[in-house]
Amino acid sequence: MIGARPERVHVIQGECFVTDKQDAVLTTVLGSCVAACMRDPVLKIGGMNHFLLPGGGEGSGNNEAERFGVYLMELLVNGLLKRGARRENLETKLFGGARTVQGFADIGGKNIEFARHFLENEQISYVGGSVGGDQGRRLEYHPATGKARQFLLPRTVAPVPRPEPRVPQVPASGELELF
């Protein structure tokens, strides 16, 4: 169909989407989260996930598994394999992992480290992307071609909150009782 608009699918936190549609465009918005964009270039199928936290969420409730990297990376790989992708053909681009809040743990950095370690352990080819920094990203990924475009978002690094000093309350009468 000439002039047909591509199918756009927005992948939100904790989701994974796999497609074999040649005109599909997968989108997401990332801060400290990481999105893995994975595909089989021979079959021209691919997908994207969007995880909040590294690892597998040891010690967290079962209903929180979708927030963690291990669950979503496995979901993406298995989704591709179910559609006929071959593990040895898989290639991945990683995006996100920004440090958007200074003074707290660098969750973005831990997400990046986890994703790279996962790909290395699973012997899945890492072909690039854009990770780290201090800006969020809006991402568009075309699984059939492997092309990705990112748009950096304005910096929103929040200052570390400082506690206000407590001033002792003095009674309105001016009297103060000491113990």
Catalytic positions, please?
A: 33
Smallest CA-to-CA distance from 51 within 15, 91, 26 is with 15
Alpha helix segments (H runs only) across 54-106: 69-82
90 touches 40 (CB < 8 A): yes
Distances from the Cα of 105 to the Cα of 38, 65, 92, 97, 135, angstroms:
28, 21, 26, 12, 16
Distance of CA 21 to the CA centre of its chain: 23
CA distance 58 to 67: 12
The residue with tokens 């995880």 is 51
DSSP letter at 87? G
11 touches 76 (CB < 8 A): no
Angle separating helix axes 107-121 and 69-82, nearest 10 degrees? 40
